[in-house]
Structure 1
Amino acid sequence: MDKKYFLSVKDVIQQDPADEKLMKYFNLHENNIKKDFRKMINTIKEYLDDIGDICDIKRGKNDYEFLQNIRIIFFQKQYWITYKN
């Protein structure tokens, strides 16, 4: 069974700093992510395109559900990312 982590971007980075590509990507975009919820969604969509990995995006009723259901498979690890203020 998959492990599910409900984390902010920063929590993901702190949990596994060995994932340098992930860390560098979100450090680069951190200000945009904090400033604008819409930009955060778009940034994560761009990231999914950039890594070109297996991604399973389940679309919810709204942007909040969309974010809660984003699944990123990165270096054989799975992260569930949710937005935190």
Structure 2
Amino acid sequence: MPEYYSSIGEAIGSAMRHNARMAADLAAAQRLTAQPGAVAPAPAPVDTAGHVFREALLVLLACMQRGVLLDAEWTLVREHIEHLVRLANAASE
């Protein structure tokens, strides 16, 4: 995934494709674990670069800009921003 996007639409599209992949993976994992004797799949690798985190924040901010952010998503926006502030503070120390 690139570090930047040429437009907000491109960023949102990328985040939406990522979310669709995550939903499909979750559905597949749930089907596997619902079968008797099934073993849960290994967890996904940690995104150390934070691309997924930033893409999710871009989607939330786009929803907020359009005025379609759900009440539950306001909490996510706040958590994302607080996380970014903590990262910035840790980097400056």
In which range does the TM-score fall when normalised by the shorter chain?
under 0.3
Which protein has the larger Cα radius of gyration, Structure 1 or Structure 2? 2
The structure with higher relative contact order (CA 8 Å, sep 6+) is: 1
| Greater per-residue strand proportion | 1
Instruction: Give TM-score scaled by structure 2 length.
Output: 0.26
| Greater per-residue helix proportion | 2
Instruction: Give TM-score scaled by structure 1 length.
Output: 0.27
